[in-house]
Amino acid sequence: MSAMTAAEMSSIEGRYPQIFQRPLIKRQGHWFLLGGIVLYLAYAVWFFNLPQILSDAHWERMGLYLTQWVSYDVQPDFRLDAPAITPKYQRFSPLGDNPSPDWVKINPDSSFTVEIDGPGKSVTFSKTEATVVAFGETVPVALASGKPVVDGPVPDWITAHEDEVVAKMGFAGGVRIAVDRIKVTKRFFGWPNFIFDTRSPFFGKSAGEVISLLIFGPELKPGTSNRALAFDNFWNNSQWQHGDVWTKLLQTIVMAFLGTLLGALVAFPLSFFAARNITPSRLMNQLLKRFFDFMRSVDMLIWALFFTRAFGPGPLAGSAAIFFTETGTLGKVYSEALENIDDKPREGIKSTGAGGLLVQRYGVLPQVVPVFVGQTLYQWESNTRGATIIGAVGAGGIGLKLWEAMRTNSNWANVFYMVLLILLVVFIFDNISNVLRRRLIGTNPAER
């Protein structure tokens, strides 16, 4: 086959200009798209003032919060202006009502030594002087002149103020030294008293001692078995509040299930009236579609605020908020699925002389049930997460409990505990939803 001449190629280009002379936007469209994305991102950076926000952010708080999620601190306070130096621990100390930890030591000369992280990080003090040891350095602090004075050079891990000397020793803790008091912070890994709080007769006992008491030991509370007492102490733990947390978590699950179920039950019949190919009345179609748009356009959080005002705080407001949102969302999804069905099965059923309900039952439902079930299960799974958020505005469930713990800004271990429970529930319900979809709809060929 001979090669084409230039004249022949020009002739072909003249006959088919739509192919050989495409507009610039079509020839260079990908570059225009890339440039548009870059310009939009640059505009977003300018609009939100991201450089200023990032420079002003308190990044140090991230490490502090993460530390508080997985650890706790004990803060003994030593008053130097009292007749005798005695440690005073914070209220509801994880060490119990009368703590006597081995890391607080009284020396022969009546001074105190507090080991913040063993002997390598410690503070020794009397009423007139203190000595801080950390990072291989020993720093004396005089207290007799009416203000704390560091004797010698001040290392970078110590900050000397006019009325206070602050020594930061990393994760292990630190110490604040003033002329009238010394406050020590000692940090430990873990969640203190997670099983039994300080009021429990099992508090402070080893796992072996607890097991022995549960199986063989005498009753610690007359008339109550040790197993029942242990469960009651765990469930009513005053520090971790397991009973209240799990009850609120169950409320969240019930809210999500009830709201989704009611929304599906209402959306199912309404979707048939909203579908153009099922109900010929255009007025009915438009009214119901606009109704669905209204119900889903108002965010679930806004509905929760409305219903909290109407019914007061509690799971009823949360269930109603999910119900209203899901009525709009599922109604739209159901009606669109109905409008996209194949009419041939329906026409075949009609040709047999079947009535309207039988036509819908055998000609329509088999086509849309997989979509209805799959979308409803997905919304149920999604609402399990959403119910946590609306709980924070008073709609009940674990969201309210989570917000209460975060608001104090000092209970981050409890926050992490509840976050882990929420993640666990979402993981479980995600798997349940997947299993139900596979069983009710069938395995997706792409997953085989």
Greatest CA separation for the chain: 113
What is the tens place of the pLDDT at every residue in 332-355?
Answer: 999 998 888 877 777 787 777 777
Which tens digit of pLDDT belongs to each residue from 274-295?
988 888 888 999 999 999 999 9
**Tokens 């409305």 -> residue:** 306
Question: 257 is written with which tokens?
Answer: 């299930």
Q: Give the whole-angstrom CA distance, residue 262 versus residue 296.
A: 15
Q: How much is the pLDDT for 354?
A: 72
Other Cβ atoms within 10 Å of 193 Cβ, number: 20
Supply the pLDDT for residue 139.
Answer: 93
Residue with tokens 């109704």: 291
Q: Is the pLDDT of residue 362 over 80?
A: no
Residue 23 has what pLDDT?
66
Residues ≥6 apart with Cβ < 8 Å to 6: none
Higher pLDDT, 80 or 27: 80
Average pLDDT of span 251-256: 91
pLDDT given at position 447:
45
pLDDT of residue 1: 52
- Banded pLDDT at 185 (limits 50, 70, 90): very high
Instruction: Give residue 22's pLDDT band: very low, low, confident or very high (50, 70, 90).
Output: low
Across 354-383, average pLDDT: 82
Residue 186 bridge partners (DSSP): 74, 173
H/E run at residue 165: strand 165-168
Q: Do 316 and 325 contact (CB within 8 A), yes or no?
A: no
CA distance 324 to 327: 5
H-helix segments, 21-91: 24-27, 29-47, 50-56, 60-69
Residue 18 has pLDDT above 80, yes or no: no
Low-confidence winner among 38-47, 74-83, 392-401, 421-430 (lowest mean pLDDT) = 392-401
Which pLDDT score, from 0 to 100, does residue 445 have? 40
Six-digit token string for 231: 């469960």
The torsion angles phi and psi of 384, rounded to 5 degrees, stand at -65, -35
- Enter the tokens of residue 200: 């429990």
- Distance of alpha carbon 325 from alpha carbon 317, whole angstroms: 12
Among 119-128, 199-208, 270-279, 399-408, which is the least confidently predicted range?
399-408
- Tell me if 288 sits within 8 A of 273, measured CB to CB: yes
| CB proximity list for 359: less than 8 A, separation 6 or greater | 346, 349, 350
pLDDT at site 446: 43
CB 124, CB 104: distance < 8 Å: no
**Coil/strand/helix, residue 424:** helix
pLDDT digits (tens, 9 = 90+) for 75-113: 999 999 888 888 898 877 888 877 889 899 999 988 999
**Both tokens assigned to 333:** 């999804």
pTM: 0.78
Burial class (CB in 10 A: 0-12, 13-18, 19+), 444: exposed
* CA–CA dist 394, 391 (Å, integer): 5
Residue ranges and CATH numbers for the domains of the chain are 72-189 (no CATH), 242-447 (1.10.3720.10)
| Predicted local confidence at residue 448, as pLDDT | 37
> E strand or H helix at 324, and its extent?
helix 315-339
Give the span between the Cα atoms of 439 and 295, in whole angstroms.
31
Cα–Cα distance for residue pair 229/261, rounded to 1 Å: 39
Over residues 206-231, the mean pLDDT reads 89
Average pLDDT over the chain, rounded to an integer: 86
Is the confidence at residue 383, as pLDDT, over 50? yes
